[in-house]
Amino acid sequence: MRIKINVTGIVQGVGFRPFIYRTAVKYGLTGYVRNRGDAGVEILIEGKEQDIQNFMRDLTAKRPPLAQIHEIITATLQGKTEHDKFTIYKSSEETELSGSVIPPDIAICNECLTELRNPKDPRYDYFFITCTNCGPRFTIIEKLPYDRENTTMREFPLCGFCQKEYADPINRRFHAQTVACPKCGPKVYLTTRNGEQIQHDDPVREAGRLLSEGSILAIKGYGGFHVAASSTKEKPLMALRRAKHRQAKPFAIMARSLETAKSFAEVNSKEEELLTSSARPIVLLNKSSTYSLSPLVAPDLHNVGVMLPYTGLHYLLFDRVDDAAFVMTSANPPNQPIVKDNDEALKTLGGTVDYFLFHNRKIAHRCDDSVLRVHGNRNVFVRRSRGYAPAPIMLKEKAQRCVIGLGGELNNVSCVLLENKAFISQHVGDVENVETKAFLQEATNHLIRLTNSHVDAIACDLHPKFTTTALARELADENGWQLIQVQHHHAHVAALMMEHAVDEIVGVVCDGYGYGVDGEAWGGEILLCTRESAEFKRLGHLEPQPLLGGDAATRYPMRIAAGILSKKVNIEDWLLRNSRHLPHGETEAKLILDQLQKGIGVSETTSCGRVLDGVTAILGVCYERSYEGEPAMKLESAAMKGKDALKMKPIINGDVLDTTQIVSAIFENIGKVSKADLAYSVHAYLARGLASLALEKALENSVKFIGFSGGAACNQILTRVMRETVEAEGLTFLVHEAVPSGDGGVSFGQAVVGGFSRF
């Protein structure tokens, strides 16, 4: 019997061919296996029917842990057997099947870690030790099929020893494309900030020592550079904040081990699972009572972003020091993508760091670390990137067309929706300039090539001035693709609907800003969305509040507070007394009062983020937003130990949830009620109010599902209270599990509207 098998999914770069080889040999089958140019694997087997059946069973049941099989296409061939043994063939260039993809980067496996520590092993102490089960993939691949010559490992020909292992069917490195050793593999070296090499026989451990002593280093990893520093010493952290123009934005840290992470943060079993997973994301952990790192790491926040080492190099860094953790933050100049090339690093980071720890392997595709947090026992993506991209999100149904989603403006990623798979790019960032636009374009093109997709349409935001909208238009014109514009909050809800395969949902979306269908600034919305319709209904929203001075208002929460409070109380005294929290002091305060009186230059927004911002200024939690989401994040931290002291009943006027009353009540209770309780009360009010309004609308429209999306859905208190309110009424409450609730989920939602709606 002869059978030809095509397997699609994540089957290249995960030890699939060696597995097929061993399985075929085990059952005495002959034939071949080879990688295809479309990221799939082709197998021909010849032998007895029973043996082939056993082979087919093992193919799915015993596949390598990192492999994902989407489809197995078999065809029985006529004719006599042609092979007298089973062989791994050279890859083919065939590309007619689409939808397979190469795997994300994989953290060092336990076997490699053991070898790294074994003085008798030839790869003892080798910083880039890897095997078929671990190492970089996405970040080193230039084109398909996944063969060494198509990766940046091409420049490192195998030595005799590595070659032997590579060709040995029972070796763990059989056909492992990243295999290397100290003799033949990439080299690591230390330089000054000017790039002058420092001779040292152990540059990685020396780098660890320098960090521990207080130096700042740029360290090249898999997907880009990290800027690293001590997590306890004030001097380097201050210097880093100054140089990176990061007044208060939290730095991620890398802990030496799970145990040391537990010495300064609370880690539950779900968080432990994430921290030690092969994706090794940054996990936002609550600081513990024994938190001992510098307050400069994550100022005024209750949590800190922690990851564990994910390469041999990271482990070696900690060897000769006692530090529990190092700061390890993405090296990206303001509004630029993460730095990936050595020259670029010298140029852009030389002024910030004292030393560089370089290696000489090129990075084909930059990729930032992923960030998650855990609500109860649910994983919440803040950023989905390294360790996850480009693995697809599997949907329950097939889309009608292949659609690219280009996303919005902030925290952007792109998405390729193909049949029942959504491939989401690595984190691109804020797309506002030429560099980030180019990165978005490159990441999208790479995704299209990797998945061998034939695109029909491109989806983007409704905002006429977004860079991504202009780019979508260009690409649509150039390629003859259909252009589909999707309202920002609709995209959020569509993503949620598709993740959970529901046909109809009342979605609550809370974030900072999205361009509404009326051109107004939206951000606290209740929408009715259905699967087949490209339209949606806005059923309710937060009360519109004045946005004094537009962009200045989003930067300085005092302005929001003044706008809201002025509707109910006389704020003159308060504003003048607190005018030092405005960049231009009293002059500005007087101008604001004048503006409010005359009502000029005041636009409005229904944004939930802005209401929270206003409260931060009233409570003195935050007066300036120096990074995206800062006031709201700090308010959540302030509320963590609070309770709903005000217990205000939601005031709903028609389709609108009043926000003036709660903000005024907070103002009036300062000094009478604790800051934590007031911070909690506003969360509770908004969550209960929005949930009540959504419940009312869901009943009116006979909808059983209420969802919560938007950046504010990362907020644990809002999510918990909303869930309790919805579930108490017997409806199902849905949140994101596969994509970020923030704007990192928007391109997926856009693509979903484009791919599943009837046009």
Residues forming contacts to Zn ion in the complex (CB under 5 A) are: 109, 112, 131, 133-134, 159, 162, 181, 183-184, 511, 710, 743
- What minimum distance in Å lies between the beta carbon of 745 and Zn ion? 8
Token output for 487: 């309202």
How many residues are there in the chain? 759
DSSP state of 712: G
| 101 C-beta neighbours (distance < 10 Å), count | 31
Tally helices (H) and strands (E) across the chain.
Answer: 23, 31
Direct distance between the N- and C-terminal alpha carbons of the chain, in angstroms, rounded to an integer: 48
Residue 485 DSSP SS3: strand
* Beta carbons within 8 Å of 427's beta carbon, 6+ residues apart: 367, 368, 370, 383, 384, 385, 389, 411, 413, 744
* Beta carbons within 8 Å of 128's beta carbon, 6+ residues apart: 135, 178, 180, 185, 186, 188, 311, 312, 313, 359, 361
* Beta carbons within 8 Å of 685's beta carbon, 6+ residues apart: 646, 648, 650, 662
CB closer to Zn ion out of 340 and 463: 463
CB closer to Zn ion out of 507 and 642: 507
CB closer to Zn ion out of 133 and 212: 133
CB closer to Zn ion out of 133 and 425: 133
Tell me how far apart the alpha carbons of residues 99 and 34 are, in angstroms, rounded to a whole number: 17
Token output for 192: 């000054």
CB closer to Zn ion out of 112 and 389: 112
- What minimum distance in Å lies between the beta carbon of 162 and Zn ion? 3
- What minimum distance in Å lies between the beta carbon of 109 and Zn ion? 3
CB closer to Zn ion out of 452 and 709: 709
Tell me how far apart the alpha carbons of residues 380 and 473 are, in angstroms, rounded to a whole number: 32
CB closer to Zn ion out of 181 and 508: 181
- What minimum distance in Å lies between the beta carbon of 98 and Zn ion? 30
Nearest to 218 by CA among 301, 342, 95: 342
- What minimum distance in Å lies between the beta carbon of 496 and Zn ion? 12
CB closer to Zn ion out of 368 and 511: 511
Q: Give the rounded distance of the alpha carbon of 372 from its chain centre.
A: 8
CB closer to Zn ion out of 131 and 395: 131
- What minimum distance in Å lies between the beta carbon of 383 and Zn ion? 14
Tell me how far apart the alpha carbons of residues 553 and 36 are, in angstroms, rounded to a whole number: 54
- What minimum distance in Å lies between the beta carbon of 668 and Zn ion? 32
Token output for 554: 């989003």
- What minimum distance in Å lies between the beta carbon of 605 and Zn ion? 13
- What minimum distance in Å lies between the beta carbon of 553 and Zn ion? 18
CB closer to Zn ion out of 42 and 165: 165
- What minimum distance in Å lies between the beta carbon of 95 and Zn ion? 29
Tell me how far apart the alpha carbons of residues 491 and 405 are, in angstroms, rounded to a whole number: 10
Nearest to 715 by CA among 611, 605, 564, 559: 611
* Contact (CB, 8 A) for 315 and 108: yes
